[in-house]
Chains A and B, each alone.
Chain A
Amino acid sequence: MLSYDRGVRKLLPVMSSLPLRVKIWFFIFTIILWMGAGESLAQSDPSDPPNPPSVIRLHKVHLTAEGSQRRIVFQFSQAPASVYAFSLSTPNRLVIDIIGPVPQRFSASYKTKDSLLRRIRVGAHPQHLRFVLDLKGEKIPAFTVEQQGSRVIAVLHSSERIASEARAQILFESPQEQMLAQSVPPPTSSASAPARSEQEAKTAAAKPHTAPKTRSSLPEKRVATASSQSTRSDTQPGLFHKLRERLDVTGFVKNETALRLYSPHQFSKVQNWFQVEIEFELTDWAELTAIGRTLFDPVNHLETDITDFDSSPVDRLEIGDSFQAELRELYLDLVYDDFDIRLGRQQIVWGESIGLRILDVINPQDFREFILNNFIDARIPLWSMRLDYTLNDWTFEAIWLPDFEASRAADEGSEFQFRNVPIPALPIQPPLPFPSIQARSVNEPEDWRLSDSEVGFRVTRFLRNMDLSFNYLYSWGDFPVPFRRVLGPNTFRFEPSHERFHLIGGSFNYAFDVFVIRGEGGVKLGQYFVSDDPNERDGVRQRELLSYVLGLDWTVSDNLLANFQFFQDVIFNKSGDLVDEAVNNAVSLSLLSDFWNETLFPELFVLYGINFGDLLIRPQVRYTFSDYLSATIGADLFIGSRSGFFGQYAASANPHDRYWTGRNSRFFLEVKRSFSL
């Protein structure tokens, strides 16, 4: 166990001792932060208020290059009162101020593909729009800036020797300009361009109420911009404000207290949470999210040994027996037109079912509270990459997980210790009464080794009334397979090892009237099952496992939603020596209701294991006192045979005494206070 002192000392030289994967993430985030900082300062808030109709709006920016001359035409919605231009050096820039009524907040940057002009930036200032032309080359070229009605034309003449080129680029075009471009035949030569612009200007003037194209939907990809000397003085007063606007901090403190129903009547948990989620919008296309939490549980019945969590120093810190701090998630979202990338420690969730996981097996699970805590809290996030690509109604998702962590069974002696863990039979031979049993440490895949990484993809299609998905995952088993080796007469060794499997599956839903039928399923190829045949060589056998769920959502009334589900596991070619049932069935019922304009939420969730007749019943009522304060009271009741998945936590050891609840059944109360900064 890590003491506070040792924990701090371990963290101080953290940069030098961090694993390679963490260094890589730090590097990526630092680069993005650096890139984003400039753009954060230069760009306005996406939620800018609309411009009043009388302001000067930018309709088009057109660049024509011919030899050493550049002609930039700015088309506006109306004629500016005046135009003022000057140059700046170090770095070389040409500044053009458009004087007149302008939008209160507007900024953008247009990248060019030109040997003389790097890009054009624009920002709104009181009573003028300022265009900054960032120039390439060592000398500032000669320039002229001329106003022609609602157009402003800048011409640059470079004395430097530059490659001869003749090309035209539209750097920005508002929607009405685009519509005109489609309806008006394109100019056949550069000479016809002015005439066309005149017509556009007239049409634009005749449509004074059409909205301008704003930053948020510019066709060009915007690039990071750094504030130049001429504009920095204008942006500095708003620096903190702009940073603050891009930062979103939310979180909650929560107390979860549970009391055992049956003797010994003890608190099974008094868990105090503090969780913070920070989102920082680096640029319009990059956002960083970090989620951290601390847990403090003085009764400490959920864990008896907290050092068994496999994680590096930045993931989790444990102080004493009762306190832990964990970096739950830290990821970077990169958003492009039709695809997104999410890089970092994250949860990746597939599937349709409620309560049990079929396709939702990408992240391992922490079973310290069995399946009673929310999956979002129980999943163990992994360092990974997720790429989403959209094409019409299709979504393609590819995932790569170079990080490995095993699922975490509840600790030996803790509240929800697994009680029905199958172990391979031992071929004990008389006359030796006591076999010699050895155990090797668990064989795990290596983090960040390409051949050991996990991959998967998913294809989703939204159809009329129906969604379909196809899923594939090449992964590692979250629990080790207990291989048993026979070393000699009555001498055995267990060699637990995580093994690969392929998961091929899919999901669907179909909505009609007040119903939604749902289903998901998958076949695991290469799953291992424990054998009770002492002569089985490794004590385990490999079989294919089909798992699926069929469900129905029924909107009974405007404040009652019912959900029914049927789960089934089928082991193909199951031989009699395997401990698991050939077919395992379970059903669930969920009732969700709300009253008083969604302030009171009574709920009931029941899971019934058909094979062993065991039950998990979870009634609860949540009341929201305000947007930030809520309380939940409820119970988790385990009933039935102790051989069952749920019944293992029921009271009686007598298999005939099946319907007594207890042992781990509990009442609970949760009080949650959210906050946002």
Chain B
Amino acid sequence: MKTICTMTIGLGLFVLSTIVPVYAQEVPGEPTGHEIAVFVDELEDGDDQISEANWTLTNSKGKTRRRHTIRYWKDYDGKDGLSSKSFIYFKSPPDVKDTTFLSWSQEDVEADDDQWIYLPALRKVRRIASGNKENSFMGSDIIYDDMADREVGEDTHTLLRVEQENGTKFYVLESIPKKEKYIYSKKLRWVNAENWTEPRIEFYDRKGRLLKIWTTEWEQIDGIWNWKRTVVENQLTGHKTELQISNVRFNQNIKESVFTERSLRKGKP
């Protein structure tokens, strides 16, 4: 009887272990890396958002270029198989003014997003292939993959250590992609233990070299944490991208019609 009980419990544990992922506690008394990644992923970002960004692109010689964009973003949360839709409109400089970029992010992480660009020089909307996510976004150090939603399950997350800085506790998380041929070999992420924001991320390329460092100042607007200033520095080329975010507005009931061909051709929402 005891043997049967033991076998039953053992079988039950085996079955449980196959359906419920078990994450070892990497630092005693702290959540696991996976749990932290989930907390970060679940950070409230509103139902929709309008924001402006001033981009400053600086090359290794210190020469700068600037862009001013307005971004509309709407959370679809699985509706129509979509994760979100975003619309980016370039206000300046004159040569890229009125260029617009529309993206429909798919809920299925394996599926390619639908993306279009409107080029005012052609006066045409062109669908663009989204299979290559390593393309730079408008010459910046941010690539299309950085802008896409990344699911927690796409990486293996490990809590490496806990750091204290100015009285604030940070989790240092290592996220290694499960897919072998991913753009980055790993990311090191500093996560604020109080609000789950990420003030620093280090990206390592396929060869394991430190490729870029992404630092972000956050601010809370209407109860939602949002970027205030972000700097992405490419450690291999010396090129740097700075984004200053302003005029952030959440939950504006952005209309569906903003994310359509009509808005693209208009060159603005």
Contact = CB atoms under 8 A, between A and B. Distances in A.
Interface of A: 47-50, 53, 175, 208-211, 213-214, 216-217, 250-252, 333, 335, 337-338, 340, 347, 349, 351-352, 374-376, 388, 390, 392-393, 395, 460, 462, 464-465, 467, 509, 511-516, 553, 555, 557-559, 594, 596-599, 624, 626-628, 630, 674-676
A558 B134 contact: yes
Contact of A460 (B63, B247, B261): B261
A395 B129 contact: no
Nearest to B250: A211
Contacts of A467: 127, 261
Contact of B260 (A50, A395, A512): A395
A266 B216 CA distance: 56
B124 interface: yes
A333 B239 CA distance: 40
Contacts of B136: 558-559, 597-598
B262 A390 contact: yes
Classify chain B's interface size: 35 or more
A676 B92 contact: yes
B65 A210 contact: no
Given A217-B253, A516-B127, A626-B65, A557 B222 contact: no
B128 A49 contact: no
Nearest to A463: B114
Contacts of A464: 81, 114
B221 interface: yes
Interface string B38-68: 0000000010001010000101000101110
21 contacts: A50-B249, A335-B266, A337-B255, A375-B122, A388-B262, A462-B260, A465-B112, A465-B114, A509-B127, A511-B114, A511-B129, A513-B131, A516-B127, A555-B129, A559-B135, A597-B59, A598-B139, A627-B66, A674-B95, A676-B93, A676-B94
Contact of B128 (A347, A460, A511, A626): A511
Contacts of B140: 597
A435 B257 CA distance: 64
A387 B255 CA distance: 19
Contacts of B46: 211
B123 interface: yes
Contacts of B152: none
B257 A338 contact: yes
Contacts of A628: 93-95
Contacts of B50: 216
A516 B247 CA distance: 36
Contacts of A557: 132
Nearest to B135: A558
A392 B255 CA distance: 11
Chain B CB within 10 A, most for which of A53, A509, A627? A627
Given A558-B135, A626-B65, A211 B93 contact: no
Chain B CB within 10 A, most for which of A340, A352, A462, A628? A462
Contacts of B124: 349, 351-352
A213 B252 contact: yes
B8 interface: no
B121 interface: yes
B223 interface: yes
A464 B107 CA distance: 12
Interface string B227-256: 000000000010100000011111111111
Q: Which 9 A-B pairs have the closest CB atoms?
A: A209-B223, A598-B139, A513-B131, A627-B93, A514-B131, A674-B94, A250-B94, A349-B123, A211-B222
B38 to A, nearest CB: 22
Contacts of B127: 467, 509, 511, 516
Contacts of B67: 627
Nearest to A209: B223
A393 B80 CA distance: 12
Contact of A50 (B112, B221, B256, B261): B221
Contact of B139 (A216, A513, A599): A599
Contacts of B265: 388
Contact of B114 (A352, A462, A624): A462
